């Protein structure tokens, strides 16, 4: 009998404490669209970890909110964020907070796109050969440095159709 009385006592105490919370409900609408419901918008209680989203009809609900004063934050992509301060939640009461969000505009700074090219690179030489109307061949300073060539006659010998006799300074075309 004693365990049964203890259980009943604890049950009624838990009911008493569970009823010491309130709830916040409301509807979100779009200011620019004749107050059409704003579906799937974010609703947060600032300073807590509680948050929800509005349903397809724009309704949202927070249940089991401890009594106190809160700030509600409403946000949706492409709309201005709205904060409603001083929402007072009382025990066993449902607080109705309706809100209308307006579209937000964000202005960006000027964007400047610039382009620069290096004329002394291997790629610049290849592009120049491609654009040319006559057949020409060139070798870049990068290519010469990679091959370890440091004198002019050895550099000229790298171009097709030109040869250099080893041991002499003669260059043949």
Domain ranges of the chain: 23-101, 122-172
Looking at residue 151, its pLDDT comes to: 73
Residues 24 and 97: their CA atoms lie apart, in Å, by 7
- On the question of pLDDT at 7 being above 80, the answer is no
Q: Kindly give, in sequence order, each residue whose CB lies less than 8 Å from that of residue 136, ignoring residues fewer than 6 positions away.
A: 129
Q: Contacts from 113-120 at CB under 8 Å and sequence distance 24+?
A: none
| CATH fold for the domain made of 23-101 | Immunoglobulin-like (2.60.40)
Q: Which of 72, 34, 32, 33 is nearest to 54 (CA)?
A: 72
| Average pLDDT score over residue span 162-169 | 69
pLDDT in tens, 72-84: 999 999 899 999 9
Q: How does residue 121 score in pLDDT terms, banded at 50, 70 and 90?
A: confident
Distances (CA, A) of 94 to 41, 43, 130, 152: 21, 16, 76, 91
Looking at residue 85, its pLDDT comes to: 96
Distances (CA, A) of 48 to 32, 69, 70: 30, 12, 9
- On the question of pLDDT at 89 being above 80, the answer is yes
| Average pLDDT score over residue span 80-104 | 93
pLDDT in tens, 128-151: 778 877 777 667 777 777 777 777
What pTM, to 2 d.p., does this model score?
0.53
Q: Is residue 22 within 8 Å of residue 89, measured between CB atoms? A: yes
Residues 107 and 141: their CA atoms lie apart, in Å, by 47
pLDDT in tens, 16-72: 555 589 999 999 999 988 999 999 999 999 999 999 999 999 999 999 999 999 999
Q: Kindly give, in sequence order, each residue whose CB lies less than 8 Å from that of residue 24, ignoring residues fewer than 6 positions away.
A: 45, 61, 62, 65, 70, 72, 87, 89, 94, 95, 97
């Amino acid at each position: 009998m004693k365990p049964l009385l203890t259980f009943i006592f604890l049950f009624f105490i838990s009911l008493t404490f569970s009823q010491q919370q309130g709830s916040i409900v409301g509807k979100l609408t779009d200011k620019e669209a004749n107050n059409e419901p704003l579906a799937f918008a974010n609703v947060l209680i600032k300073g807590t970890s509680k948050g929800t989203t509005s349903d397809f009809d724009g309704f949202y609900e927070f249940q089991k909110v401890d009594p106190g004063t809160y700030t509600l934050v409403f946000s949706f992509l492409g709309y201005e964020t709205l904060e409603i301060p001083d929402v007072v939640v009382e025990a066993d009461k449902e607080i109705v907070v309706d809100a209308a969000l307006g579209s937000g505009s964000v202005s960006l700074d000027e964007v400047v796109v610039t382009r620069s090219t290096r004329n002394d690179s291997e790629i610049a030489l290849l592009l120049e050969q491609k654009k040319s109307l006559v057949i020409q061949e060139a070798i870049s300073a990068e290519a010469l440095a990679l091959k370890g060539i440091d004198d002019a006659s050895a550099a000229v010998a790298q171009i097709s159709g030109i040869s250099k006799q080893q041991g002499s300074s003669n260059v043949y075309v």
